[in-house]
Amino acid sequence: MTLEELVERLVGEAVLTGATLSRPRSVDPASPKRLTLDPVAVRSGVRWRVRRHFHTRTTDELVDREALGELLREAIGGSYRQALLHEPAADWQVLAGKGEPRVLRRPPTRPDVSFAHDRRKQHRLPAGEPVPYLVALGVQTPDGQVRARRRDKFRQVNRFVELVDDVIPVLPPGALRVVDYGSGRAYLTFALYDLLTRVHGRSVELLGLDLKQDVVAECEALARQLDAEGLRFEVGDIADADLDGVDLVVSLHACDTATDVALERAVRAEATVILAVPCCQHELLGQLESDVLRPLIRHGTLRERFVAEVTDAARARLLELAGYDVQVVEFVALEHTPKNVLLRATRTARPARDRARLAAEYRTFADALAIRPALERLLADRIDV
């Protein structure tokens, strides 16, 4: 592949996820010794931040796609003799000596990119740098490469970190009490712990709770091996676990109504923030009825999908009625998993007038579909619908 073809591919198809240009031809200290390029989200779409690294300072400039293409064509081989360009499927090393630049394909080190703003990007897990818990859990190799088979997991962990990061300002000051219900193999539990302690410098008491004795023992051993002070794992059932004061409750992919039990526990404990990714929402499959929706719900596949959305919509509204602001956000893109909705709830004070309106809307919705979801029953003594 020629340099021109490479630029056409990466910029023309908008797959470039980052680049570094190095080994300048000029030794003039007034010239930048290195350029780094990163995508940045702006109101009107994606722009490119060109960071020029001078000897004693850096400068930033935002450019559009056209200017980015021009810059790469001119600077590689012109001012810089070496470049490393990333796309999700590959890295490209360009060596520009005397003749035609040589383009070499390398294994990818930046498999994904978020076009989020800079603050978030700093908190994302850097591909190519080993993170101890990701190495221990087999997501990364010891030198920090994401294992090919674990790319989806790496992407999921990254996305989770971003979504949690947004609610950290809402959490109270001081030592944080956190519970992860149904922590399983604990990829996301360790990610949460890492984000809160290492990135945000918070002191944390984080409990991962799960039914599976062997999995809990493995996670506990790993927490001790990593010296993760304040992180522990216990065997237990969500339904039995008493919460005595908690700031953040997490329940990720807990099956069917286990999610509702986790939400109920969190509401009763008056958690400041609740994060739930529901999974296999079967409960309402046998309940939902509607003459109007007959053409939709008579097909098993469509009925299942629709029921999953209805279950999460009901949960979101019931959490609002229980005193939370709720956002429903996409967790990871649908092509990676169908379990892609995150309910993000933050505690709020809501005027009685608003509560009455929300309750009336909920009643109309639930009656029209002939449903009485688990969370409604579990919180019957706390919310009036």
Ligand X SMILES: C[S@@+](CC[C@H](N)C(=O)[O-])C[C@H]1O[C@@H](n2cnc3c(N)ncnc32)[C@H](O)[C@@H]1O
> Contact between 161 and ligand X (CB under 6 A)?
no
Q: Would you count residue 342 as binding ligand X (CB under 6 A)?
A: no
Minimum separation from the CB atom of position 238 to ligand X (A) = 4
Distances (CA, A) of 59 to 73, 92, 106, 203, 320: 21, 25, 29, 35, 45
Q: How far is CA 361 from CA 217, 279, 319, 349, 357, in A?
A: 45, 25, 14, 19, 6
DSSP letters for 340-367: -EEEEEEE----HHHHHHHHHHHHHHHH
Q: Does 133 bind ligand X (CB under 6 A)?
A: no
Q: Which is nearer to ligand X, 304 or 361 (CB)?
A: 304
Nearer to ligand X (CB atom), residue 188 or residue 314: 188
Q: Is 341 in the site for ligand X (CB under 6 A)?
A: no
Helix (H) or strand (E) holding 189: helix 187-194
Task: Identify the residue whose tokens are 């012109």.
Answer: 78
Residue of this chain nearest to ligand X (CB atom): 184
Q: Which of 298, 302, 312, 303 is nearest to 285 (CA)?
A: 303
Residue 373 CB, shortest distance to ligand X, in Å, is: 17
Residue 127 found at the interface with ligand X (CB under 6 A):
no
From residue 177 to residue 206, the character string flagging contacts with ligand X as x (rule: CB under 6 A) and all else as - is -----xxx--xx------------------
Q: Which of 211, 296, 370, 380 binds ligand X (CB under 6 A)?
A: 211
Of 85 and 163, which has the nearer Cβ to ligand X? 163
3-state SS, 92-112, equals: EEEECCCCCCEEEEECCCCCC
CB of 260 to ligand X, least distance (A): 11
107 close to 91: Cβ distance less than 8 angstroms: yes
Residue 212 binds ligand X (CB under 6 A): yes
- Is the CB of residue 4 less than 8 Å from the CB of residue 11? no
The verdict on 252 binding ligand X (CB under 6 A) reads yes
- Where on the chain is the footprint of ligand X (CB under 6 A)? 182-184, 187-188, 209-212, 237-239, 252-255, 258
